[in-house]
Amino acid sequence: MSKLSVNHLLGIRYLTPEDINLIFETADHFKQVINRPIKKVPSLRDITIANLFFENSTRTKLSFEIAEKRLSADILNFSSSNSSVTKGETLIDTVNNILSMKVDMVVMRHPNPGAADFLSKHVDAKIINAGDGAHEHPTQALLDAFSMREKHGDLNGKNVVIVGDILHSRVAISNIFCLKKLGANVKVCGPLTLMPKYISSLGVEVVTDLKEALNWCDVAMMLRIQLERQDAKNFPSLREYSMLYGLDKELLDSLDKEVTIMHPGPINRGVEITSDVADSKQSIILEQVQNGVAIRMAVLYLLAGKID
């Protein structure tokens, strides 16, 4: 198989396991490319890509931008804070105006869940979801699973625990879909107030004891407490959260086995993870960032192949 089954990357839920493996195999090649003396290939030199960021982002935006440059695509960057969106322009109008400048692909981050889905039905371009509210963040899940695969091989039967604020996390949701599709066992860990009501319908088990979860898993993914999305008080204080669900060196060293530590960033150092853990040799946080570029190159390359 050499073709994706989808025309847009809106969420992991729409991908087949074969799609995910095709993206991984392609990303393997791109990872090689970005470690060469000349890190650029001409594959997308006739493609124009618009990066529309209606919400703040550092890593994802830079990662997409460099992936596009490594593929020789032309890029338009847009962020809503200094645009006509503040004058009341609708999403479709904004995007259609950009598309009339002959743009072939759109990478979009938006605060509303389903924004990418909505856009794909109304505009004529390939859409890549770079995070839509608490819905999905597919490229993050792909790069996380790709990093795990690099460290542990085939993910089938591997144990992964996702720790923290599952309720507000599109990363967690996309990761659960992705890991389940690849045959991994997934548990989520955190205070029950930060668990979505539908969590059991995703086929994952909830544990509230961090040490128990860590002793079970091969990989622990620590999520950021999303301070900007805590409109209700879901836990008494950051200090209490950190005592119960924060990962420090002492806890890590007390485990029976070596657990791989991941974090999608940005890190609240000292809250969900301490600095000595984040910078330890068990942590693959910086590998995740490098793999993010390779994964995004693979996604852009494969979707560009579907442009007529």
Partner 1 sequence: MKQNDRIILDSTQFDLTIKRLAYQLIENHNDFSNTIIIGLQPRGTFLADRVVAELKAIDSAYNVQSGALDVTFHRDDYRRQGTPLVPSKTEMNFDIEEKNVILVDDVLFTGRTIRAGLDAMLTFGRPSTVELLVLINRRYERHLPIQADYIGKNIHSIVSERAKVSWVDTDGEDQVILYTPENE
Q: Match 């107030």 to its residue by tokens.
A: 193
Can you tell me whether residue 127 is helix, strand or coil? strand
CB 212 within 8 A of CB 162: no
In the complex, least distance from residue 291 CB atom to partner 1, rounded to whole angstroms? 17
Q: Which is nearer to partner 1, 71 or 176 (CB)?
A: 71
Cβ pair 125, 76 in contact under 8 A: no
* C-alpha distances in Å from residue 215, one per residue of 160, 166, 210, 257, 277: 11, 20, 9, 7, 16
**Quick one: 31 or 170, whose CB is closer to partner 1?**
31
C-alpha 297/C-alpha 279 separation (Å) is 27
Among residues 192, 227, 286, 307, which is the contact residue for partner 1, using CB under 8 A?
307
Two tokens, residue 161: 């625990």
CB nearer partner 1, residue 1 or residue 192: 1
Shortest spacing between CB 99 and partner 1, in angstroms:
19
Query: x/- string (CB under 8 A) for partner 1, residues 25-64?
Result: -x--x--xx--xxx-xxxx---------------------
Distance in angstroms (rounded) separating the CA atoms of residues 304 and 265? 28
| In the complex, minimum distance from the CB of residue 282 to partner 1, in angstroms, rounded to a whole number | 29
Question: Of 246-305, which residues contact partner 1 (CB under 8 A)?
Answer: 301-302, 304-305
CB nearer to partner 1: pick between 41 and 289 = 41
Give the number of residues in contact with partner 1, rule: CB under 8 A.
Answer: 18
Q: According to the binding rule CB under 8 A, does residue 102 interact with partner 1?
A: no
DSSP secondary structure code for residue 161 in this structure: E
Per DSSP, helices labelled H in the chain are 17-33, 59-70, 91-99, 115-122, 138-152, 170-181, 210-216, 238-245, 249-253, 275-278, 285-304
| Cα distance between the two ends of the chain | 19
- Single-letter residue type at 202: L
Closest contact distance (angstroms) between CB of 84 and partner 1 is 33
Instruction: Tell me the closest approach of the beta carbon of residue 71 to partner 1, in angstroms.
Output: 8
Query: Which CB atom, from 30 or from 54, has the smaller least distance to partner 1?
Result: 30
Closest approach of partner 1 to the CB of residue 43, in Å: 5
| 26 or 51: CB nearest partner 1 | 26
Choice between 70 and 168, CB closer to partner 1: 70
CB of residue 28 vs partner 1: minimum separation in angstroms? Answer: 9
Q: CA–CA separation, 225 vs 31, rounded Å?
A: 30
Interface residue list for partner 1 (CB under 8 A): 2-3, 26, 29, 32-33, 36-38, 40-43, 301-302, 304-305, 307
